[in-house]
Amino acid sequence: MSGQVPALDVKTVDPTLVAGHRSSLWRDTLRGILRQRSAQAGVVILGFLLLIAVFANVVAPFGSEQDLRYPPISEQVNRLAPPCIHLLGCDTSLPQHAFGVDGNFFDVFSRVVYGARISLFVGFVTVGFAIVIGTLIGAVAGYAGGWVDNLFMRLMDVVLSFPSLILAIAIVTVIGSGLIQAQLAIGIVAIPIYARLMRASVLSIKERDFVVASRALGESDRGILFRRILPNALTPLIVQGTLGIGGAVLEVAALSFLGLGAQPPTAEWGSMIGLNRNFIFNAPHLIIFPGIALSLTVLGFNLLGDGIRDALDPRLNR
Amino acid sequence: MTTTNGDRPLVEVEHLAEFFPIHGGVLQRQVGEVKAVDDVSFTIRRGETLGLVGESGCGKTTVGRLLLRLLEPTDGTITFDGTDITGLSERDLKPFRRRMQIIFQDPFASLDPRAPIGASIEEGLRIHQIGTPAERRDQVARIMELVGLQPYHARRYPHEFSGGQRQRIGIARALVLEPELLVCDEPVSALDVSIQAQVLNLLRQLQRDLGLTYLFVAHNMGVVEHISDRVAVMYLGTMSEVAPAQEIYRFPLHPYTIALLSAVPVADPGARARQKRIILLGDVPSPVNPPSGCRFHTRCWLRKQLDNPTRCETERPPLRDLGPDHQVSCHFAEELVQVERREELIANAAAVSSARAVSDEEEIGPVELPPPDTGGIFDPAAPIGDDTPGHP
């Protein structure tokens, strides 16, 4: 786009354009991603979920832990009442609850809506933690090489040698149960994926001429790692990270299902399913709706991740 | 040019060696080493261009990187402007980094694809904390103009440029710190022939205007002749011959240099027919296990005609003076000094080569230099006439 600009006097050019301007590259990338159909679907699903999460207090008719029997509501509710929407032909004499009522006289729809907040937050924080630590480990191991590389990577191999959920359960057993602890456990288990990815990228990039040029200019090791290598190694990390969020959401939900993550009555989808699994035959709506929400979230992240990978991986370009 | 040490050469290299370890086996123990550079000494004078030529894998790129301390030498010393920089820590080296820079062969790999080229060019100023942001931008714009780029290019990304333009960007990045020494690591080998001449002329002009000193690494004899004041020829990690450019093309004294120059293609068919080509036997030996004594003795045509003296196998020939400013590492280079004797020896070697070439052609074709992987592109700007080696 700068092609149409006639020869400019450099002094009149906005300084940000000359030095740190990178929007055109990112904008091109973003456009490429949004051309992928799966990415479009993912963006739509996640956008929808994000809106619901942000405006949960507007969307949800009740609080997430609000007992419908007591003031200020104190309406006539039946325990485990099935979904009732007047528009769809439900008897208008019954109170309206889109996803029904659960065993604690909570409105399931409100709880599912508030659950979106927790799950999206959990997904980003968990993967964010794993990416930051994993990237650091992988970058240092790949750049330093030698015994540092050996030490870090063997440690990662040890972590990888356990089935991830089993290891997460073990970690939670040690550090105690709760949503934060569950996130930490799932985050730790995910570190090796990012560390290995980062190490591989660093190994291939650090021999490139532009890195050698940086060294010849006198750049420090840290400068080379963070200014030259890291920005060029981000692509696979972004792809893996996006795909990883879906997995992390699911795994934290699994821990909550087992009672090791979010504790009832927190409106967390995994915990909701776990809490009500005994009612699966007489009140299936307690399981189905959080389950659908969970699947939708994971689907959204996977679609977006696939789209990003297709857009960024030149080998897949058709 | 900031001259602190009047007559002293800008760079003095003594007994430089670089051995890369080879690890193997289950325990990754060191099982050998690649002797990429083995006991190389030379000097680069202020303001001159020293051309460094040789086949692929002879260690010329390694020498360039060693000079800039991008590799740690196994042995030897590098003296830059009177200071031994071999043992300096990265921190003590930093002031010297400003004074010596490098440009690369591959213009596609040498620029950070994620940085706008303005930022890439500015990098050196940022690292050395020179000037205010506004001053840096002015300096970047000035350097870009110097190498023939437009100031508004600064915010574009490398992928928006052609190979020749990228090479200019690489040159701008190297020049922004106003260095004294520029190591040009095959700067035109990856470019189209028409662009090669442009970049070479740019380098020459910059040298004139900025008083730069070049170490010009290349495998293309024509390009080197065009740009160099002196030429150093390497073979298998050692220095064969160093001489002023005109001298080495007119009257080379090392049998390897003579063979190398006899393989340079000549555009004139008449001259080509008269050209006495010496085709070396076999491949370049492995630098993992190089020949004893003179590295070249296994393929030397001169040694063959002198009835294979054992001295070539047992004793390593030092680089010694033979004529003004002309150094050769060959025990028997004197044989080639006297013109009639030289003509006779070269004619004999060429006759053997052509006889062998005729008999081999049906089977495997002629074996000749330079090796194919370098794709020896020829520079049209370089004057090449009948003045080929073998016809002094």
B68: left (phi over 0), alpha (psi -120 to 50) or beta: alpha
Q: What local confidence, expressed as pLDDT, does residue B363 receive?
A: 55
Q: Do A212 and B104 touch (CB under 8 A)?
A: yes
B150 and B261 inside one domain: no
For chain B, the domain total comes to: 2
Question: Within a domain: residue B231?
Answer: no
Return the residue of B nearest to A20 by Cα: B119
- For the ranges A92-101, A125-134, A165-174, B93-102, which has the lowest average pLDDT? A92-101
Residues in chain B with CB shorter than 8 Å from the CB of A18 are: 116, 118, 137, 140, 154-155
Q: Is the Cα dihedral B307, B313, B314, B317 positive or negative?
A: positive
- Amino acid B234 reads M
Nearest-CA neighbor of B183 among B373, B11, B391? B11
Question: Within a domain: residue B148?
Answer: yes
Integer Cα distance of B261 and B254 in angstroms: 11
Integer Cα distance of B328 and B338 in angstroms: 15
Contact B172/A at CB under 8 A: no
Question: Within a domain: residue B390?
Answer: no
Domain A43-316 has CATH 1.10.3720.10: yes
B263 and B354 inside one domain: yes
Q: Report whether B68 contacts B102 (CB < 8 A).
A: yes
Residues in chain A with CB shorter than 8 Å from the CB of B64 are: none
pTM of the model: 0.78
pLDDT tens readout for residues A179-223: 999 999 999 999 999 999 999 999 999 989 999 999 999 999 999
CB neighbours of residue A173 within 10 Å: 12
Listed by start position, the domains of chain A span 43-316
Stretch (H or E) spanning B52: strand B49-53
- Amino acid A201 reads S
B156 and B257 inside one domain: no
Residue with tokens 């990012």: A194
The distance of A136 to chain B (nearest Cα, Å) reads 20
pLDDT tens readout for residues A272-310: 999 999 999 989 999 999 999 999 999 999 999 999 888
- Residue A20 token pair: 């740190």
| Tens digit of pLDDT at every position of chain B (392 positions) | 444 555 789 999 999 999 999 888 777 788 888 999 999 999 999 999 999 998 888 889 999 999 999 999 999 999 999 999 998 998 899 999 999 999 999 888 899 988 889 999 999 999 999 989 999 999 999 999 999 999 888 988 888 898 899 999 999 999 999 999 999 999 988 888 888 988 999 999 999 999 999 999 998 888 898 899 999 999 999 999 999 999 998 899 999 999 988 887 777 777 666 677 888 877 888 888 899 999 999 989 999 888 888 899 999 999 999 888 899 999 998 888 888 888 888 888 888 887 877 666 555 555 454 444 444 444 444 444 444 444 43
Q: What local confidence, expressed as pLDDT, does residue B384 receive?
A: 42
Return the residue of B nearest to A228 by Cα: B112
Integer Cα distance of B280 and B260 in angstroms: 9
Q: How would you list the strands of the sheet with B11-24, edge to edge? A: B29-44, B11-24, B75-80, B83-84
Residue with tokens 């889109």: A98
Return the residue of B nearest to A233 by Cα: B114
Integer Cα distance of A49 and A123 in angstroms: 13
pLDDT tens readout for residues A65-94: 888 887 766 667 788 888 888 888 888 888
The distance of B379 to chain A (nearest Cα, Å) reads 25
Residue-range definition of the domain harbouring residue B281:
250-374
- Residue A19 token pair: 């030095």
Question: Within a domain: residue B107?
Answer: no
B163 and B258 inside one domain: no
Residues in chain A with CB shorter than 8 Å from the CB of B68 are: 216
Contact B119/A at CB under 8 A: yes
Residue after which a domain boundary falls, among B132, B149, B171: B171
Q: Do A10 and B137 touch (CB under 8 A)?
A: yes
Most A-contacting residue of B123, B155, B177 (CB-CB within 10 A), to test interface: B155
CB neighbours of residue A147 within 10 Å: 8
Integer Cα distance of B65 and B43 in angstroms: 15
Q: Report whether A26 contacts A306 (CB < 8 A).
A: no
Residue after which a domain boundary falls, among B171, B191, B211: B171
Integer Cα distance of A24 and B293 in angstroms: 59
Q: What local confidence, expressed as pLDDT, does residue B184 receive?
A: 94
* Model confidence at A52: pLDDT above 90: yes
Question: Within a domain: residue B327?
Answer: yes
Integer Cα distance of B225 and B309 in angstroms: 33
Q: Do A218 and B116 touch (CB under 8 A)?
A: no
Q: Do B177 and A217 touch (CB under 8 A)?
A: yes
Question: Within a domain: residue B134?
Answer: yes
